[in-house]
Amino acid sequence: MSETLDLPVALAAAPFDPAGKSVDEVVTHVERALRQTENEPEWVSQANIVNDANVDLYGLQGHSPWPEDSSTNRVSLSVDRGNSEGWIVRVDLVELVVDGDSRFWKCRGLMRIKSLSRSRAWSAAAIVSRMLDLD
């Protein structure tokens, strides 16, 4: 049975508040923290790697402020299979959009993390969840 890899104790105890930081700053911080574990991912990047202005399709741009949780916004985390090999940890902004009488949820990408094994992906997800206080 595989074990869950975690942050070193000193890093796990160090608080990290993404408020007031950009998407790039948060992604850089998460990448540095993950690289200090035995759970080093293949790569960590912002979801909108080309910084396309169409944030509804590609995700928030790197210079965008990290979203704050509210009654209509929240940051979510999920793990899924990659398109070719490996596993992807997805960190997304989920927003409730009210347009007249209609309401719907919109998902915008924030960060992607690739691992080659399922257990490492779930370990990375646990670390990121704790680091960003998503659990």
- Residue found by looking up tokens 């992807």 in the block: 88
pLDDT tens for 28-51 read: 999 999 998 888 899 999 999 999
Domain presence at residue 3: no
Q: Which residues contact 102 (CB under 8 A, 6 or more apart)?
A: none
pLDDT tens for 62-117 read: 999 999 988 899 999 999 998 888 999 999 999 999 989 999 999 999 999 999 99
Q: At 43, give phi and psi (nearest 5°).
A: -160, 160
User: Domain count of the chain?
Assistant: 1
User: Hey, CA dihedral for 121, 127, 133, 135, is it positive or negative?
Assistant: positive
pTM: 0.86
Domain presence at residue 10: no
Domain that holds residue 70: 16-131
Domain presence at residue 1: no
